[in-house]
Structure 1
Amino acid sequence: MKKLFLFLYFTFYIFNTSFSQSCHLRISLLTCAPGEELYSTFGHTALRVTDSIAGTDYVFNYGTFEFGSDFYIQFIRGKLLYYLSVENFNDFVAQYQWESRSIQEQVLQLDCQEKQELYTALQTNSRPENRYYRYDFLFDNCTTRARDIVARNTIPAVIFRNILPKDVPTFRDMIHSYLDRGGQYWSKLGIDILLGAKLDHRVTNQQAMFLPDYLLQGFDRAALGDSASIGKLPLTSKPQTILSMPSPLNKGSLFKPAIVFTLLLVLVSALTFIKANWATAALQVFDFLFFFILGLTGILLLFMWFGTDHVVCQNNFNLLWALPTHVVIAFFVHLKKEWVSKYYKVVFWITILLAAAWGFLPQEMNNALLPLVALILLRSWRLSGKNVKKAF
């Protein structure tokens, strides 16, 4: 009887010790609201690990980068390295409180072994030799990294329910919704110019989770197990707000691209039909600057397509209005030569075709560019005719 008692005692002791050592972890997904700066417009995701025995409360953040002297060069070339950093939870919250950005938390409902494996994976991933990765905004960012490391360290597997609406959005649609909400209209224009037709692919359920809010929805509807287990073994608890702050977002400036470009179109149109020497001189300066800038834009688009690792910069139909050849021809724009006239006649008809196909291209074009397209039509029409010889 005594031996049986001792056996039961030690069995209970071993079980209890094992349980206390592996279940002292609490792991959660943190979803941070968008901020007013462009880099924070889409929100942020991180993982929080609380260890009740060690008395630690850490945030594992895949959205960290080093701002060095070659930062912008690496960013433009698509070679910028991000890394997984580890910081104290209170410091993390203080930063978002200062930026007036709310934080929501979803506690992962994993068993003891899965929590330990996930924590070990995060610690391993945060080592200097492992923590760096090549950042890709759509396919490999701080949000997708958090999703993937959780999915890789759960048994049974994570099953994600559909979070997409019936009318499945494209990557561009999803990005636009955040830029419009944040009043980032000029940034929206820049993104639409730089990023090509691949941004107009419709997202899959998994791909939609490249944005923090969508990952929150994905985890909220996810379950552990096969499809029959959905709804029975939820992956996380319901989202809880742990930091509530007023949104810093605003509607942006009244000087939106469409308004600015329309005013420019009206002004240049008026100058075009004013028969005065000062108007002619002003148009000469404008035509040089206008077509030179268009040409530089085209060269930038070609570089982003062929000279960088940004896959989404390929197949860019904005090259139909930003012809790289303009950067050279701009120096001869008012030269009284037949070949200059023929060049602008070709530009005129290319622009006519572009305007006619505007809504049917495989790439969604930013409508704020339409006044610029009209301006190209107007000036190329004038420069392609007899008025070239009159120095128009």
Structure 2
Amino acid sequence: MSWVARMVVTIAIILGISTPTAAQEPRPEEPAGESLQVFLMTMGPGASVYERYGHNAIWIRDAVTGSDLVYNYGTFDFAAPGFVMNFVKGRPRYWLGVSDLDWTLRQYTHAQRDVAVQELNLPAADRAELARWLAHNALPENRVYTYDYFLDNCSTRVRDALDHVLHGALQAATAGREAEGNFRFHTQRSLTNDVLMYTGIMLGQGPRTDRPIDRWEEMFLPAKVQERVRELNVSGPGGTMVPLVASERILLEFGVYHVESAPPAWGWKFQVVGLLVAMLIATGLMRGGMQVIGRVTATLWLVVAGIGGVVLLFLWLGTDHVFSASNRNILLMSPLAPFVVPLLWRRAGRGPSRLGALAAAGMILSVTVGALLALAPSLGGQWNLQVMQLATLPGIAACLVALAVSSRPAGALPPPP
């Protein structure tokens, strides 16, 4: 090799110039999101009241890293500082939690709750954007939010994340379209497993729960997100419309818990209970041991009604529970009730006290007005017929018995033993 050839080779080595046979075309980078799969997870209801509505999450699988991350907007901690007080005030703090798929499935296996998944037919760029969006929102400085059980909950956050990468298609397909039922309808059908909890929540819900909602708002329920996603078609390759859901499968199936398709027809049961309590209260006008039983029953009812009325007033005026505001049930469960109690135990001949008599008259009036509004919900704006059926007769009976007992002349009614 001549000195010229040796010099050329040396310079080529120094400059890193390859020979044509060794040259390789630059390898194009894999499009962002190509290795990702996106699944909507829908969990069935559970036993606890906060599990009755079901749950959902977004599962991101990365074939390159082997990760299976579940993004869950329903994370909270009862033991966290201030959680209970914030919950009472209507400002509970929830956050976006991230967990491994295996851990998530173990939790739902332990709770015996069903889990279904839908793989979403999203373009690679949108899959990458959803993964970025969720990872960003899971950062400590971004993950916490103020929870609202109808307007901003774990399910509406999943809905909004999906709508973000669907470029508004989910909202466009559902906003303005009539929902299956309003917030009260879905609450009632979800709580049929617990009569006491059902009754308490029906007492606490005001007229905003009864306003009409559309399918977009109805997705506060995870099952409705699952349904709407299943129905949605999106633009696919070449502009053709394709189903958003590429496939569906069940990961866990126990069949232990379920939600009814419609609210229970419990009106007659509430009416019977109210009538029986009122009849028991009426025995307070009898002589002997029965009058004591009647007055004790009336006392208990008035105490419960009074506490209920104070709680309803607090929820309305002292908290951010907007769906408890302007609650007409405060007419049926009156804060005046405790002021009637002393009349039941006032000695014969003394007559009713002015305060007690005014409280009894005011409560009779308020319960009557509340009952009339319940019979004509278009006037009151609130569907609370079941509460009226339960509370009207006992409330009026307790006040009438209290007025009658306290008005008897001396010697007409022996004091209780």
Q: What residue in structure 2 maps to residue 10 of structure 1? A: 25
Q: What residue in structure 1 maps to residue 331 of structure 2? A: 320
Q: Does the C-alpha gap of structure 1 residues 28 and 258 become closer, same or farther in structure 2, counting only changes over 3 Å?
A: farther
Contact 1:86 1:126 in 2 (8 A): yes
CA offsets 1:136-184 (integer angstroms, 9 cap, x no match): 010111111011012113347445535999785211001111112xx12
Q: What residue in structure 1 maps to residue 281 of structure 2? A: 268
Q: What residue in structure 2 maps to residue 63 of structure 1? A: 74
Q: Does the C-alpha gap of structure 1 residues 126 and 281 become closer, same or farther in structure 2, counting only changes over 3 Å?
A: same
CA offsets 1:355-384 (integer angstroms, 9 cap, x no match): 333221311115255243111122222334
Q: What residue in structure 2 maps to residue 243 of structure 1? A: 252
Query: Are 2:102 and 1:100 equivalent residues in the alignment?
Result: no
Q: Any stretches of 5+ residues in structure 2 without a counterpart?
A: 1-18
Structure 2: distance between partners of 1:78 and 1:320: 22
Q: Does the C-alpha gap of structure 1 residues 5 and 306 become closer, same or farther in structure 2, counting only changes over 3 Å?
A: farther
Q: What residue in structure 2 maps to residue 380 of structure 1? A: 399
Structure 1: distance between partners of 2:49 and 2:203: 16
After TM superposition, give the deviation of residue 39 of structure 1 in Å: 1.2
Q: Which amino acid aligns with 2:249?
A: Q
Structure 1: distance between partners of 2:52 and 2:398: 37
Question: Which stretch of the first structure deviates more once superposed, 70-79 or 341-350?
Answer: 341-350
TM-score by length of 1: 0.85
Q: Does the C-alpha gap of structure 1 residues 139 and 4 become closer, same or farther in structure 2, counting only changes over 3 Å?
A: farther
Structure 2: distance between partners of 1:117 and 1:358: 49
Q: SS of the counterpart of 2:117?
A: strand
After TM superposition, give the deviation of residue 346 of structure 1 in Å: 3.5
Structure 2: distance between partners of 1:235 and 1:365: 40
Q: 1:224 aligns with which of 224, 234, 238?
A: 234
1:115-126 aligned within 5 A:
115-126=127-138
Question: Which stretch of the first structure deviates more once superposed, 158-167 or 67-76?
Answer: 158-167
Q: SS of the counterpart of 1:10?
A: coil
Contact 1:159 1:222 in 2 (8 A): no
Query: Are 2:166 and 1:154 equivalent residues in the alignment?
Result: yes
Q: SS of the counterpart of 1:18?
A: coil
Q: Which amino acid aligns with 1:62?
A: Y
Question: Which stretch of the first structure deviates more once superposed, 350-359 or 38-47?
Answer: 350-359
CA offsets 1:262-315 (integer angstroms, 9 cap, x no match): 54334333x235322x23333343333322221121111111011111110101
Q: What residue in structure 1 maps to residue 363 of structure 2? A: 347
Q: What residue in structure 2 maps to residue 196 of structure 1? A: 206
Structure 1: distance between partners of 2:194 and 2:21: 71
Q: Which amino acid aligns with 1:191?
A: I
Q: Which amino acid aligns with 1:35?
A: G
Contact 2:178 2:213 in 1 (8 A): no
1:52-91 aligned within 5 A:
52-68=63-79, 70-91=82-103
Give the superposed CA RMSD. Answer: 3.2
Equivalenced residues, count: 376
After TM superposition, give the deviation of residue 102 of structure 1 in Å: 1.1
Structure 2: distance between partners of 1:250 and 1:85: 26
After TM superposition, give the deviation of residue 201 of structure 1 in Å: 0.7
After TM superposition, give the deviation of residue 31 of structure 1 in Å: 0.3
Percent identity reads: 23
Q: Does the C-alpha gap of structure 1 residues 6 and 34 become closer, same or farther in structure 2, counting only changes over 3 Å?
A: farther
Q: Any stretches of 5+ residues in structure 1 without a counterpart?
A: none
Contact 2:163 2:170 in 1 (8 A): yes
Q: Does the C-alpha gap of structure 1 residues 100 and 10 become closer, same or farther in structure 2, counting only changes over 3 Å?
A: same
Contact 2:367 2:392 in 1 (8 A): yes
Contact 2:337 2:359 in 1 (8 A): no
Structure 2: distance between partners of 1:193 and 1:298: 10
Structure 1: distance between partners of 2:74 and 2:22: 52
Structure 1: distance between partners of 2:121 and 2:22: 34
Contact 1:62 1:84 in 2 (8 A): yes
Contact 1:298 1:319 in 2 (8 A): yes
Q: Which amino acid aligns with 1:264?
A: V
Query: Are 2:401 and 1:389 equivalent residues in the alignment?
Result: no
Larger Rg: 2
TM-score by length of 2: 0.80
Q: SS of the counterpart of 2:30?
A: helix
After TM superposition, give the deviation of residue 188 of structure 1 in Å: 1.3
Question: Which stretch of the first structure deviates more once superposed, 308-317 or 325-334?
Answer: 325-334
CA offsets 1:302-353 (integer angstroms, 9 cap, x no match): 1101111111010100011111122334345544236333442343233233
